[in-house]
Structure 1
């Protein structure tokens, strides 16, 4: 049948019309329908149309997502509409009620701003065979009546309207607009200006719609007999599956699911992970992509399939090369380097060896994190850092159940996915600062992660399948060992990084810090030079730390000042940083150390302390005052040191007869103990010997040697107990000019680890009981000769 001639006719007396684009609907003549207008230019279009002819041309969009290019996104046939009413919404949008007038064809958009205006012409409908048209009209009415009987959505009043319409064109427009058809199907009917052909298309669409409604009713009848609340999800899936099979829309038509299936086949998944992925994929096949459950399942498969199930990096097993890398990156730390090389040696002989769980314990700034990076390079593994400081929620480790809103895997699985291999080196920083409260205990969740006997079967709450972490090399770091939970500490191999002594810091500054900061400041070796004495002066008088972080900051400060000088005066000769000009760049010294006594004094004993800043000399002062026998302690002491003071005084009171101490000394006098640098908190079990000596001195009114330093804990029976931090304490004694040190006998093996340049010229006294100390700190000793006349009572023997 030849195409009818289109008669050009202006919709409002002219060949121009204001253009309004709508989404998700198709306008029809003689149909009243609402439109929500949100875009600024369309709001202006409606406002100006109201003040003029109230006529707009309404066209449906082909792609509702493309809001930028209306010229190429509109269907060619639309409807000229009359604006009936408009309502302003509180959110700024406008609801407009339109009535379709007649079909129009879009010729050209002749204006884009401030709103689109188009040149259009009207479509003239052509009637066909009257008998065929009447038959199609009756068929449409009959089919529509059947649909109304089965569909609960359509109102019954529309049936009376349909049977009252005699015009076949109006009938087709009304029925089409009432049905829930696709936009493309409605547009097909709108564009057909031959009435007979239009009715034929509508009959075909009505038959398809009726079959779908009947099929839905059959499915409902088949499953409704056994339907209950727990079977609702199964019913919905079966219903969707039946509809998809009937329409020929099976899972193969979804390219996204096909891509997931191909990816799943290409990965070496464990059997458990493969079963979980297949189960989730089957669920997705029964869901519509726009549902929220589909997004949850899709994200789960993304996480599951993006993990490195079989991907590893080849470990570097050349011991000489690994040793060279460790030596290049760090000075000293021989114990740590030897432990890493031992593991590499074992791995070279046994490929299936489990990775150890190392824990570096040491003060801030000693290079724990950077050492982990060097180990990763030496082993040829990828490195990633995971900070545990302040973590409270155990879900950060194990993840959330995927049923929660916004659920994600834990940080361990996240980092494994990010790094892309299953055998990286993961550094768990600040393991001693993990929080614990009502929200959970992350340290308990770490037990499974850090246990080589369990972590091959690590289960994240989100994935709910086993993932092997036994190939991961975990290294933890901590500042203090005693704050780590015992169960977690038991799973780790502790390696202490005690901090650097001054000679080591000088070497580190020369080899690493100075070259790095000179380069960072844009300088060259020809611009600046640090003398060894200047570096030593910075270490001793401007920093108080076990590490080298503050030292590097001061070197950086000097380099910046030199860089400014050279930038202002390019001809400046090389700047030599020495002890003479150091204050020019850093100002006066900032570390004021506690001075040791320069002569023998009464009530002042020289102790040795181990702090986060390394070793230090800690003189302890004691004095007697008229009072009631009470004790007073100042200097911000912790509970451990307070107990040491109580133990020392109890020991002296129990042995008052041995030392010839008058009884009224404890009853009529108050004892005041002061630990200098009162603003700094102090705690730790190493001050017992020093406190005992200081108190005994004031009780006996005897002076203490000023050239002897001591450390050790004391028991109620006078035994000297071992302490920690020997390396740092001995270094502090040498720095203070003290060459004689009293140490517990049990710490004799720790002196071997003290560098020779520190030990040379020093004398060490190893004691196991307090009577061994008396002759070392008091000239001529202090025990009474009457000791031979001691009572033989049972109580005295026990003492």
Structure 2
């Protein structure tokens, strides 16, 4: 399209003002018109087939036509196409033709419905220039432009080619100006410059400046890129993975989980030590950096879940009252006066310290109570009562057969399937840092190549160490000093000496038959009635039947077996009630036990009906209580040898040999009269016979240091052919000088004598002095307890 097709210049042209883009005469560009004046100007130009003058606003006047200042120099062009857009704007395709200038004041034109600005426009002609100088400048410009294009890949190659093939300097200047990233004001200053030499010089300076800036930017970008490659390559890869996971919908959950872990750490921070906080925070940071599908991430996730389950800072706040402890013990346990008295003393010290504001984290409060005694006597239930009275949760840790120290201390996290130790798990279950922790069967802890758990128990139970107890899995210290530890054991001999040194032992011994009867009536039967859905009036059992059930259907120091037998009776009763609805109650008498409790399981060892030679009633302690053992002896013609049978242990065998030696001394000293049938023999009687000593039952292993005087009496009875009082039982160890040594388990042994119908019991005088008050009153009333200090006293009491 040529300017010659239109009216000669200067001429009156409508004006369009552009805010955002600077146009040049060679350009064909789409322009979006929003202002009504611009739209009307374009409409007029289209209708009248007129040229347009397009100029730009000055700096600071963009966005509003009111009071705006516009540049005098712009582009004269025509509209190739005009389109109305649904949003109210108009899109025109503008073709620049020449450089023009406003030569008169701008006036408002109103034609019917059209209203726009218009002015006389002059065509700006190009000045004459020095061709050689201009060509030299164009060469430099092209060279610099080529260098810039190598640095900046954004310059189109076809435009570079067009510039290099163009000879017209003004067109070259416009083309180059359109390529450069310069401001609207700077572009206008270059555009209005009439001296082409100056324009080209300005463009060369701008290109050189851009090249320097691009070089610096390139160097910085290269350095940053190298640094990122070295130190943050992994980070960017993880960011990419994050984005991928986010697209898959799996990333948000992990981020929320990490945020939740940090929030929980912040919540427990006031209640944990600095080292603990540091360890947990380190693991959270590691978890955040790891890929979610890696094995280590799963391991750390499990670790953090365990950690935040711990009840940091949570303590049971109920105040300690000894009266409540006493009441709870009395409600839950019959008899057991000594253990209950010691427990009350233990907590009296704590309550006194609490009232006076004295801290007893060590010393008195650090004492570890250990209930020891045979099974079923109520050791663990005493701990339950203590926990209930204190209002604290109970944690029971069964140590029986424990061999791996990691079970207590926790496994190190390097092992597959690692988890915290039982103590930490107990605290989590209790949801408190000061529970009552029962260490059950502490005498049955094992020891092997995987460690010695008793050594770990030393730290747990030592009040000077357990405030900083370290679990291998958690890898930080836990304060166990606020917990109350109670241990239970059957045999004190199985507890290592260093561990025994940290405990105070309370004996929980066997119940007498009368105590069992009261326990059954007051506790067992009411409890079992509830468990078996029976009303009180639907199940009745007479005292005589209950006594027979205790004596001949159970054989135990406690009441566990008795509870099972009572439960069995109730099950059969419930079955009978369902089978015949006319039956309203089941009453069990002695004769009914055969039907409801099957056959008798045990028979109490009773004394013989009459005195016999060589048969002596001995008293023994077993793991299930006391028992009466008959020791039998016979003599056979021989050479004075002693034969022992009955599965005897080394200690009992030695006792037998000591007893034989003591009796021989008595015979030699004429302290024991003997009957020699062969009067022609000059040998002492013990050289004429072999002795056979037997302790029934042969299949039951027996050992212990308390059968010395019993064996001595059996040997003396055989050699003197004197009968032994069948209503007397005895216990005591013997020395070679004939002295009687004290023994253990006296209460259980005397209860066994009482059950067997013994009327007189011989015990060491040392036991008589120190242990008699522990013997139940009903036993003392029924059995005459005689203290003895030498074998002479024993023989005088029993040989008839």
Taking structure 2 as the reference length, the TM-score comes to: 0.66
Return closer, same or farther for 1:215/1:323 CA change in 2, 3 Å cut-off.
farther
Residue 686 of structure 1 corresponds to which residue in structure 2? 706
Return closer, same or farther for 1:617/1:258 CA change in 2, 3 Å cut-off.
same
Conserved in 2, the CA contact under 8 Å of 1:355 and 1:472? Answer: no
1:642 aligns to 2:649 (yes or no): no
What is the rounded CA distance, in whole Å, between the counterparts of 2:386 and 2:632 in structure 1? 46
Residue 691 of structure 2 corresponds to which residue in structure 1? 671
Deviation at 1:664, TM superposition (A): 4.9
SS at match of 2:376: coil
1:760 is matched with which residue: 781, 784, 789?
A: 781
SS at match of 1:240: helix
Return closer, same or farther for 1:286/1:629 CA change in 2, 3 Å cut-off.
same
1:609 aligns to 2:603 (yes or no): no
Residue 458 of structure 2 corresponds to which residue in structure 1? 447
SS at match of 1:580: helix
Return closer, same or farther for 1:457/1:589 CA change in 2, 3 Å cut-off.
same
Conserved in 1, the CA contact under 8 Å of 2:326 and 2:344? Answer: yes
Deviation at 1:701, TM superposition (A): 2.1
Residue 735 of structure 2 corresponds to which residue in structure 1? 715
1:218 aligns to 2:226 (yes or no): yes
Residue 265 of structure 1 corresponds to which residue in structure 2? 266
1:514 aligns to 2:522 (yes or no): no
Return closer, same or farther for 1:653/1:454 CA change in 2, 3 Å cut-off.
farther
1:301 aligns to 2:304 (yes or no): yes
Alignment of 1:343-358 (within 5 A): 343-351=346-354, 352-353=359-360, 354-358=365-369
SS at match of 2:591: coil
Conserved in 2, the CA contact under 8 Å of 1:620 and 1:676? Answer: yes
Residue 369 of structure 1 corresponds to which residue in structure 2? 380
2:234 is matched with which residue: 220, 232, 240?
A: 240
The runs of 5 or more residues in structure 1 that have no matched partner are 1-134, 143-209, 223-234, 780-799
Residue 799 of structure 2 corresponds to which residue in structure 1? 778
Return closer, same or farther for 1:418/1:628 CA change in 2, 3 Å cut-off.
same
1:504 aligns to 2:505 (yes or no): no
Residue 395 of structure 1 corresponds to which residue in structure 2? 406
Conserved in 1, the CA contact under 8 Å of 2:627 and 2:753? Answer: yes
Residue 257 of structure 2 corresponds to which residue in structure 1? 256
What is the rounded CA distance, in whole Å, between the counterparts of 1:566 and 1:296 in structure 2? 57
SS at match of 1:348: helix
Residue 725 of structure 2 corresponds to which residue in structure 1? 705
What is the rounded CA distance, in whole Å, between the counterparts of 2:455 and 2:403 in structure 1? 11
Residue 51 of structure 2 corresponds to which residue in structure 1? none
Residue 334 of structure 2 corresponds to which residue in structure 1? 331
Deviation at 1:505, TM superposition (A): 0.2
Conserved in 2, the CA contact under 8 Å of 1:360 and 1:478? Answer: yes
Deviation at 1:551, TM superposition (A): 1.0
SS at match of 2:536: coil
CA RMSD of aligned residues (A): 3.2
SS at match of 1:741: strand
What is the rounded CA distance, in whole Å, between the counterparts of 2:608 and 2:344 in structure 1? 46
CA-to-aligned-CA distance 1:89-142 (integer Å, 9 cap, x gap): xxxxxxxxxxxxxxxxxxxxxxxxxxxxxxxxxxxxxxxxxxxxxx9xx989x9
Deviation at 1:503, TM superposition (A): 0.5
Conserved in 2, the CA contact under 8 Å of 1:744 and 1:768? Answer: yes
CA-to-aligned-CA distance 1:536-575 (integer Å, 9 cap, x gap): 1111111111111111111111111111111111221422
Residue 341 of structure 1 corresponds to which residue in structure 2? 344
Conserved in 2, the CA contact under 8 Å of 1:316 and 1:378? Answer: no
SS at match of 1:254: helix
Deviation at 1:408, TM superposition (A): 1.3
What is the rounded CA distance, in whole Å, between the counterparts of 1:778 and 1:244 in structure 2? 96
Conserved in 1, the CA contact under 8 Å of 2:569 and 2:597? Answer: yes
Alignment of 1:559-598 (within 5 A): 559-598=570-609
Return closer, same or farther for 1:565/1:316 CA change in 2, 3 Å cut-off.
farther
Alignment of 1:483-502 (within 5 A): 483-502=494-513
Deviation at 1:215, TM superposition (A): 8.8
Return closer, same or farther for 1:284/1:737 CA change in 2, 3 Å cut-off.
closer
Conserved in 1, the CA contact under 8 Å of 2:395 and 2:437? Answer: yes
Deviation at 1:248, TM superposition (A): 11
CA-to-aligned-CA distance 1:191-220 (integer Å, 9 cap, x gap): xxxxxxxxxxxxxxxxxxx99x98997248
2:755 is matched with which residue: 731, 735, 742?
A: 735
What is the rounded CA distance, in whole Å, between the counterparts of 1:215 and 1:613 in structure 2? 84
Deviation at 1:508, TM superposition (A): 0.5
Return closer, same or farther for 1:413/1:216 CA change in 2, 3 Å cut-off.
farther
Conserved in 2, the CA contact under 8 Å of 1:309 and 1:422? Answer: yes
CA-to-aligned-CA distance 1:136-179 (integer Å, 9 cap, x gap): xx989x9xxxxxxxxxxxxxxxxxxxxxxxxxxxxxxxxxxxxx
Return closer, same or farther for 1:774/1:473 CA change in 2, 3 Å cut-off.
same
Conserved in 1, the CA contact under 8 Å of 2:606 and 2:757? Answer: no
CA-to-aligned-CA distance 1:14-42 (integer Å, 9 cap, x gap): xxxxxxxxxxxxxxxxxxxxxxxxxxxxx
Return closer, same or farther for 1:634/1:247 CA change in 2, 3 Å cut-off.
closer
Residue 491 of structure 2 corresponds to which residue in structure 1? 480
Residue 412 of structure 1 corresponds to which residue in structure 2? 423
Return closer, same or farther for 1:752/1:278 CA change in 2, 3 Å cut-off.
same
Alignment of 1:418-437 (within 5 A): 418-437=429-448
Residue 563 of structure 2 corresponds to which residue in structure 1? 552
CA-to-aligned-CA distance 1:728-755 (integer Å, 9 cap, x gap): 2222222222221111011122111112
The runs of 5 or more residues in structure 2 that have no matched partner are 1-148, 157-217, 244-250, 675-681
What is the rounded CA distance, in whole Å, between the counterparts of 2:526 and 2:346 in structure 1? 32
SS at match of 1:402: coil
1:291 aligns to 2:294 (yes or no): yes
What is the rounded CA distance, in whole Å, between the counterparts of 1:597 and 1:444 in structure 2? 50
Deviation at 1:692, TM superposition (A): 0.9
Conserved in 2, the CA contact under 8 Å of 1:240 and 1:286? Answer: no
Conserved in 1, the CA contact under 8 Å of 2:265 and 2:277? Answer: yes
Alignment of 1:23-38 (within 5 A): none
CA-to-aligned-CA distance 1:622-675 (integer Å, 9 cap, x gap): 111123433222222223222222322233344441245785544443221111
Residue 196 of structure 1 corresponds to which residue in structure 2? none
